[in-house]
Amino acid sequence: MNDIIVLGAGRVGRAIASDLCRDYHITVADIELHSLSLLKERYPLEIEEIDLNDQVELLELLKPFDLVVSAVPGYMGYQTLETIIEAGKNVADISFFEEDPFELHKKAVQEKVTAVIDCGVAPGMSNIILGHHNDQMDVQQFECMVGGLPVKRTWPYEYKAPFSPIDVIEEYIRPARLVINGEVVTRPALSDAEYVNMEPVGTLEAFHTDGLRTLLKTMDVPNMKEKTLRYPGHVEYMKVLRDTGFFDKKTREVNGAAIRPIDLTSKLLFNEWKLDPGEPEFTIMEINVEGIQNQQKVTYAYHLYDEYDHETDLSSMARTTGFTCTSVARLIFEGKYQNHGINPPEYVGADEQCYQQIMEDLKDRNVIYQVEKEIEKT
């Protein structure tokens, strides 16, 4: 019996597989046999060693499965999703690729595929929350601030990446789009840095990144922005590296060898940013949704603070991202969400039953979103 296949055995893929294998028959596919073997030793699941870049092999691999979860790196995400749709398989996707996912919408509808993309923490839960409120009120402003950080601050970067450094670097070079007074405005990544107080951590630095993604097309909200959170000082280091060319994608010749600076930088930062085994880290996020509901001005404030789980040895970013994805995967697999085509998370959040189920699933896994509602007095 083949239920669900998870593509990718990295940190988030492991969290996804460990959660889903409690209830379903799970297979995990990756080219890294060592990562697969560690999963096989710890969890009741099957493994498949495969180069996921090989689309012919991937199409064949997917045939017996009812649902696919794509947890591949961002640079592989679009092509992998296209292959999954070609195979006619429903999918929950957390690859956060750069390309426009709606380019695949027509094909997904033709193949009767339900494809939920970006179903992580942010993008992901941030979209789900906005989609939920947008269905119930006239939203006028949406703001999200989010970051994943190590507890221990180590010079010089005071940062550790819970996923591939090259995906983090993408956040630092891709122009950030926000919405101001109904107009889409572009700002450089890392711009408009500000200090914010975030309980229980203290002072953090917030700066623009391109996190709104599909919300720019799907939500008619006049003011929207997303900022990434780091310890104070990190943004200056990243600006120096970016503006000096260390994040460039154009090939350069160095001593007869053709290299892309971003590939070398990512390689060098891998060990600098790698979390040590068992190293504590946390995810912190604040979301504010303001608007008119029942003829009253209302603000909903969401707060998430989640830490590394010592018992399961799962990082907080893997938990908060992965468990959002597994909740969405369950909704698709059990037929509770069946909208064919490309579905960003805000579409799922607009379904009240789906929204409540996701919140309950996360709460059961101790990923808790605290929410406060404030009604402006008139």
pLDDT tens, position by position, 75-95: 899 999 999 999 999 999 999
Q: Is residue 49 located within the same domain as residue 116? A: yes
pLDDT band, residue 121 (cuts 50/70/90):
very high
Instruction: Convert 325-347 to b/e letters by CB count within 10 Å (16 or more is b).
Output: bbbbbbbbbeeebeeebbbbbbb
**pLDDT over 90 for what percent of the chain?**
90
Q: Is residue 234 located within the same domain as residue 327? A: no
Whichever domain contains 268, its CATH number is 3.30.360.10
The per-residue pLDDT for 346 is: 98
Q: Is residue 117 located within the same domain as residue 134? A: no
Q: Is residue 129 located within the same domain as residue 160? A: yes
CA–CA separation, 18 and 322 (whole Å):
10
The per-residue pLDDT for 162 is: 67
Q: 29 is in which domain, residue-wise? A: 4-121+315-367
Distances (CA, A) of 87 to 102, 109, 238, 301, 323: 18, 13, 40, 41, 25
Q: Indicate whether 22 belongs to any domain.
A: yes
| Number of domains within the chain | 2
What number is the average pLDDT over the span 38-56? Answer: 94
Q: Indicate whether 335 belongs to any domain.
A: yes
The per-residue pLDDT for 277 is: 86
Q: Is residue 181 located within the same domain as residue 295? A: yes
Q: Is residue 151 located within the same domain as residue 291? A: yes
pLDDT digits (tens, 9 = 90+) for 224-272: 999 999 999 999 999 999 999 999 999 999 899 999 999 999 999 988 8
SS3 assignment, position 142:
strand
Q: Indicate whether 373 belongs to any domain.
A: no
CA–CA separation, 5 and 65 (whole Å):
7
Look at residue 336 and tell me whether its pLDDT is greater than 80: yes
Q: Is residue 260 located within the same domain as residue 227? A: yes
Neighbouring residues of 67: CB distance < 8 A, sequence distance ≥ 6: 3, 4, 5, 89, 90, 91, 92, 329, 332, 333
The per-residue pLDDT for 164 is: 72
Q: Is residue 186 located within the same domain as residue 292? A: yes
Whichever domain contains 15, its CATH number is 3.40.50.720
pLDDT digits (tens, 9 = 90+) for 161-189: 866 788 789 889 999 999 999 999 999 99
Q: Indicate whether 372 belongs to any domain.
A: no
pLDDT digits (tens, 9 = 90+) for 109-118: 999 999 999 9
Mean pLDDT of the chain: 94
pLDDT digits (tens, 9 = 90+) for 185-224: 999 999 999 999 999 999 999 999 999 999 999 999 999 9
CA–CA separation, 304 and 178 (whole Å):
22
What number is the average pLDDT over the span 366-375? Answer: 96
CA–CA separation, 77 and 74 (whole Å):
5
Q: Indicate whether 375 belongs to any domain.
A: no
Q: Is residue 58 located within the same domain as residue 29? A: yes
Look at residue 1 and tell me whether its pLDDT is greater than 70: no
Q: What is the pTM of this model?
A: 0.93
Q: Indicate whether 378 belongs to any domain.
A: no
pLDDT band, residue 2 (cuts 50/70/90):
low
The conformation of residue 284, written as its DSSP 8-state character, comes to E
CA–CA separation, 48 and 37 (whole Å):
10
What number is the average pLDDT over the span 281-304? Answer: 96
Look at residue 376 and tell me whether its pLDDT is greater than 90: no
Which of these three, 307, 332, 352, is where a domain ends?
A: 307
Q: Is residue 116 located within the same domain as residue 130? A: no
What number is the average pLDDT over the span 301-330? Answer: 96
